[in-house]
Structure 1
Amino acid sequence: MTSPDLNLLISLDVLLAEGSVARAAQRLRLSPSAMSRTLARLRATTGDPLLVRAGRALVATPRALELRERLSQVVQEAEALLRPELAPDISQLVGSFSLRSSEGFVENFGAALIARVASEAPGVRLCFVQKTRKENDALRDGSVDLETGVVGVNMGPELRVQALFRDRYVGVVRSGHVLCEGEITAPRYAQGKHICVSRRGLASGPVDQALGAIGLQRDIATIVGGFSSALALARSSDLIASLPERHSGTLRAGMHSFPLPLSLPELTVSLIWHPRLQADPAHRWLRALVMDVCKNSD
């Protein structure tokens, strides 16, 4: 069975409202002959004349009168479905959003985000999910709404990305460490004992590549999986931690930090989401909120 042309509903609604082929044609911006052909198609589809001539006017048949009672509502509902969604009243929004991020993001930006959400949408709850691996499967399957991180080569091309801020590596040692005094050169930095931060347990990273480029190598005493562990060890020993500056800001309180004496590219930390949420008004609000908080926490 051939599906009916749903565009005919709009034409029938106008024909029944106007009671005239000529006026219906003018309203729909069609020629009278095109409107007459549309009426013929409607008659064939419904199996009813719908509009019949009575003198110089057209009058609706009983079937047309029956349809008219329901047709206007159906057309209005269809038009509403296709109309762009109105921006919601964020203050009345109720629900939860999940944000997946690397260690350090919550510690540095979480409090400000929670405060802004509580101020603008008290019915919304933020759920922070720790990023333990680089894959973006959670965005694709919908288990998280947003993600932050450095865009990698393995990220799917369909995902949407917006830069949040730039970050750089700094060295961090305990107060009173020998590196708290004097000029920190690349050889002096490399001579110390180091903590390597790697979720995958790797003993090499961007810092080691930069050292290798100038013929140096650092002595890695231990490998840990996160910033907090690295800083806890550095705080209570002579080990050196090398971490992204902004991601470790609050975690480094009371410690001595210094720019690395190496040529290292800055990191671009981005906001990442799935395109199915691109036009969602509530999701747009949340993205703008995260970007504004990060921008104003420099």
Structure 2
Amino acid sequence: MDLNLLITLDVLLDEGSVTRAGRRLALSPSAMSRALARLRRATGDPLLVRSGRGLVPTPRALELRDRVRGLVHEAQEVLRPARPPDLATLERTFTLRTGDGFVERFGPELVAVVGAEAPGVRLWFLRKAGKDSALRDGGVDLETGVLDDPPPDIVSAPLFTDRFVGVVRPEHPLATGEVTAARYAGARHVHVSRRGRAEGLVDEAMAPATRDVVAVVDGFGAALALARAADLVATVPERHTEGLRHGMRAFALPFRAPEVAVSLSWHARLDADPAHRWLRDRVAAVCSTR
């Protein structure tokens, strides 16, 4: 069955003329006549019959007219690009998996912005823990973090660039005076590594000097908690951890501070989804203003 015939039948019944229908469909009179012949064979009814100088619909044609119009209208809606979501009535839950400190830094404003525009939208924040296929499987809608080599079905957009700073409690010796490379290297450090490694970007940046790492944790929050309670230096991303560093002293590293590019990622199947696109835009806007 050629479903294009539904469009032809809709126009024929609306115009009641093969010639006028042909003009609307950019078809020649002969092509329209052939289409009408195919419709007659398919329906087993003449559909349009001559009456004087014009054509009139048969009872079967009158019976089909509204049904055909509805089918064509629905088909047009299906094939039309998705409309922007009605945010006032949108009911949807989005799951965001983020790095340590992201929710504390950006979460409050994001929740406020989303709630003001789309009160029916709920945000579920999950802590990022290792690499898995949650974006691909649909368990996570959006993910923030540093991308190494994303697979081809993962789409991403840059959010911001973050640089590392040193953080200590107010009573720490490095809380006062100039922090030189020697003072920094001579302090006791807590290092962040989800893979349990004792070295990272900071150690590469300060080479050949080395630091005394006495504790390794798997998140920035844990590193700052140790530094808040003991004379340890936590070296963490500045923007990510602003909400976690309240009451502590931050200082610029005495060497070229490592920088990381934080991106927003999602699966390709959600790339054209209007509601998902709206949320991505809100996340990017919040991160660019804070």
Q: How does 1:134-173 map to 2 (within 5 A)?
A: 134-135=131-132, 137-153=133-149, 155-173=150-168
Q: Give the C-alpha shift of residue 200 in structure 1.
A: 1.6
Distance 1:254 1:69 in 2: 71
Report the 3-state secondary structure (helix = DSSP H, G, I; strand = E; otherwise coil) of the residue aligned with 1:168: strand
Distance 1:54 1:111 in 2: 72
Distance 1:124 1:114 in 2: 10
Gaps of 5+ in 2: none
Aligned to 1:6: 3
Report the 3-state secondary structure (helix = DSSP H, G, I; strand = E; otherwise coil) of the residue aligned with 1:92: coil
Aligned to 1:238: 231
Distance 1:22 1:69 in 2: 22
Q: Do structure 1's residue 88 and structure 2's residue 118 form an aligned pair?
A: no
Q: How does 1:37-116 map to 2 (within 5 A)?
A: 37-116=34-113
Q: Do structure 1's residue 202 and structure 2's residue 181 form an aligned pair?
A: no
From 12, 16, 40, the counterpart of 1:15: 12
Shifted more, 72-81 versus 43-52: the winner is: 43-52
Q: Give the C-alpha shift of residue 265 in structure 1.
A: 4.0
Report the 3-state secondary structure (helix = DSSP H, G, I; strand = E; otherwise coil) of the residue aligned with 1:183: coil
Identity %: 59
Contact 1:206 1:264 in 2 (8 A): no
Q: How does 1:260-275 map to 2 (within 5 A)?
A: 260-275=253-268
Shifted more, 61-70 versus 167-176: the winner is: 61-70
Aligned to 2:220: 227
Contact 1:197 1:223 in 2 (8 A): yes
Q: Give the C-alpha shift of residue 53 in structure 1.
A: 2.9
Shifted more, 16-25 versus 156-165: the winner is: 156-165
Distance 1:128 1:160 in 2: 20
- Can you list the C-alpha shifts for 1:198-244, whole angstroms capped at 9, x where unaligned? 112111211111223xx112111011111111111111212111100
From 32, 35, 38, the counterpart of 2:32: 35
Contact 1:173 1:238 in 2 (8 A): yes
From 165, 168, 176, the counterpart of 1:181: 176
Q: Give the C-alpha shift of residue 293 in structure 1.
A: 1.3
Tell me which amino acid in the other structure corresponds to 1:244: P
Q: Give the C-alpha shift of residue 25 in structure 1.
A: 0.3
Distance 1:209 1:108 in 2: 27
Distance 2:67 2:226 in 1: 73
From 273, 280, 284, the counterpart of 1:280: 273
Tell me which amino acid in the other structure corresponds to 1:166: T
Aligned to 1:25: 22
Aligned alpha-carbon RMSD (Å): 1.7
Contact 2:202 2:258 in 1 (8 A): no
Distance 1:78 1:139 in 2: 31
